Amino acid sequence: MDDMDIFWQQTAPDGAQAQRLEGDASYDVAVVGAGFTGLNAALHLAEAGVKVAVFDAGPVAHGASGRSGGQVNPMLPAKKPQELRRAVGDRYFERMAETSFRSADDVFDLVRKYQIRCEARQHGWIRAQHCDSARREANANAHLWNEAGAGFEFVDADEVTRLSGAVGYVGGVIAPKGGAIQPLALTRGLEVAARAIGADVFSFSPVKALERKEGRWHLRIGDHRVDAEQVIFATNGYTDGLLKGLRGSVLPLTPLQMAAEGLDDSEIGPLLPQGHTISDTRRLIMYCRREPGGQFLFGSTGYRKPLGGIGGFSWMLEDAVRIFPSLKNAKWKYRWGGRIALTSDGVPHLHAPQPGLIAGLGYNGRGVAMSHVMGREMARMALGVDPSQIPIPVTKIPRYKFRTPQVLGAGLAMAAMRWRDQRETFQGSGK
């Protein structure tokens, strides 16, 4: 899948000229991964006067940050407060909840502070309910979250259609603080901002080895050596085997997207006219947004085939027309996928397995907002803030149980989930 298949490549401003590491170097902090998480960590560290460098195997935002749906959703994916409390404990529950509620505002504040041109808009996020049982469960859980301060609003089926152009849903919940950004533009803007205050960002500079000697970390990058007092891992769904156990602590998932352009007013007019973003309650979710230039993006979940390639686009083409009838003649010019990371308990994980080593990952589909939180909090840890003051608990690196069979069986599992979603949707709409 070529980068030219990624719609964001067509509308993002040019980024800074890529720099490769050209010699040995020494830093206070080395960051592995030049996406939202890593660049945010570097930005906060550079602001504090720390000598910091970011290293990535490819260009900036080549991973999920430049391929994401760009929805800034201010919530963790836990369905109800009890699930979050069970995952993080009483001590961290309120901190994690409040942090997630503020996470979208934090992103938009950052965009304004550094004047990043990324088509940022904060018009709310609709979570549409695909059947009556999903409506009852989602509304009950939203009321519970509102008691904790979430600020959700409730809408009926007609209002979902009026606000989105989507048909077949029985109701919805709106998060008013939700919104959208152009993800590749934001990532490139973060790089420019970090460089402007002293951070180094090196592309096409993969870290091939890491070891600790004489109280410092030593990184091998091609033929060059870099030493640092601390190392931050910000690799999320693209985590490799560099840090023992980290890749096996999360389950990779493949979100897919496609984009249509050249739509006339009868096609694009009914769709998200007030600028909301939308997703739904299905197991195989859809998520969509309308662009300022009149394009429409439709996303869902796919899978990587055992012998290569990505599956799931055929399902998306069927769903797009069923959910948004005005798109029956749309031409989907762009199609692409990325890779995100799921954790077994549904919350982001923060680890400090050795002195001077920090790793954060596992955003479970809430990466645009929560990756910025993680980058900031890992920077604070590197600056010496006591881990007990960080809103995300620092834990041992876990093993994701039954990870390999779930990866290999993703296609079959998703086909089963799609069948269940369709049955519930048709029953819920009376078909």
User: What's the average model confidence in pLDDT over 389-412?
Assistant: 95
Q: Residue 93: pLDDT band by 50, 70, 90 thresholds? A: very high
92 lies in the same domain as 158? no
pLDDT at 427 over 80: no
Contact in structure between 391 and 92 (CB atoms under 8 Å): yes
Q: Across-strand partners of 360?
A: 350
Average confidence (pLDDT) over 398-421 = 94
Question: What is the CATH classification number for the domain harbouring 295?
Answer: 3.30.9.10
Give dist(CA 68, CA 309) in Å, integer: 18
DSSP state of 430: T
pLDDT of 1 > 80? The answer is no
Residues 34 and 89 in one domain: yes
pLDDT tens figures, 129-141:
999 999 999 999 9
Alpha carbon 322 to chain centroid, angstroms = 26
Evaluate whether 368 touches 72 at the Cβ level (below 8 Å).
yes
Asked, for residue 215, whether it belongs to a domain, the answer is yes
Q: Compute the average pLDDT of residues 353-366.
A: 97
Q: Averaged over 88-101, what is the pLDDT?
A: 97
- The dihedral region occupied by 340, where left means phi > 0, alpha psi between -120 and 50, and beta the remainder, is beta
Q: How many other CB atoms are found less than 10 A from the CB of residue 227?
A: 15
Locus of tokens 């309650």? 281
Asked if 355 and 371 sit in the same domain, the reply is yes
Asked whether residue 293 falls in the same domain as residue 232, the answer is no
**Using CA of residue 111, residue 113, residue 116, residue 121, what is the dihedral sign?**
positive
> Are 193 and 171 part of one and the same domain?
no
User: Which CATH number characterizes residue 229's domain?
Assistant: 3.50.50.60
Residue 114 lies in a domain: no
Return the pLDDT at 426. Answer: 82
Residue 412 lies in a domain: yes
pLDDT tens digit sequence for 55-84: 999 999 999 999 999 999 998 999 999 999
- CA 262, 16, 47 angle in degrees (round to 5)? 120
| All residues at 6 or more sequence positions from 95 whose CB lies less than 8 Å from its CB, including other chains | 391
Decide if pLDDT at 430 tops 60: no
Q: Check whether residue 191 and residue 78 sit in a common domain.
A: yes
Instruction: Assess whether 152 and 263 both reside in one domain.
Output: yes
Query: Quick check: is 283 in a domain?
Result: yes
Average pLDDT over residues 192-217: 97
Domain identity same for 287 and 380: no
Same domain, 139 and 77: no
Long-range Cβ contacts of 14-19 (<8 Å, 24+ apart): 14/188, 15/59, 15/60, 15/61, 15/187, 15/188, 15/191, 15/192, 16/60, 16/188, 16/191, 16/192, 16/195, 16/201, 18/59, 18/60, 18/203, 18/204, 19/200, 19/201, 19/202, 19/203
Asked whether residue 67 is domain-assigned, the answer is yes
In tens, the pLDDT along 218-235 reads: 999 999 999 999 999 999
Work out how many domains the chain is built from and give that number.
2
Do 101 and 146 have their domain in common?
A: no
Whether 331 and 363 map to the same domain: the answer is: no
For 227-275, the pLDDT digits (tens) are: 999 999 999 999 999 999 999 999 999 999 999 999 999 999 999 999 9
Instruction: Report the pLDDT averaged over residues 159-175.
Output: 98
Confidence class of residue 431 from pLDDT cuts 50, 70 and 90?
very low
Running DSSP on this structure, what letter comes out for residue 281? S
1 within a domain of the structure (yes/no): yes
Mean pLDDT value across the chain: 95
Chain centre distance of CA 131? 26
Q: Which of 426, 379, 386, 392 is nearest to 130 (CA)?
A: 426
Q: Using only the alpha carbons of the chain, give its radius of gyration.
A: 21
Residues 292-310: what's their mean pLDDT? 92
φ/ψ region of 115 (left if φ > 0, alpha if ψ in -120 to 50, else beta) reads left
pLDDT at 306: 82
This prediction has a pTM of 0.95
- Taking residues 106-125, report their average pLDDT: 98
> pLDDT for 305-339, tens place per residue?
888 889 999 999 999 999 999 999 999 999 999 99
Residue 117 lies in a domain: no
User: Are 388 and 269 found together in one domain?
Assistant: no
Would you say residue 428 has pLDDT above 70? no
Q: Say which amino acid occupies 221.
A: I
Q: Has residue 120 been placed in a domain?
A: no
- The number of residues in the chain equals 431
Residue 422 is part of which domain span? 125-176+251-342+401-431
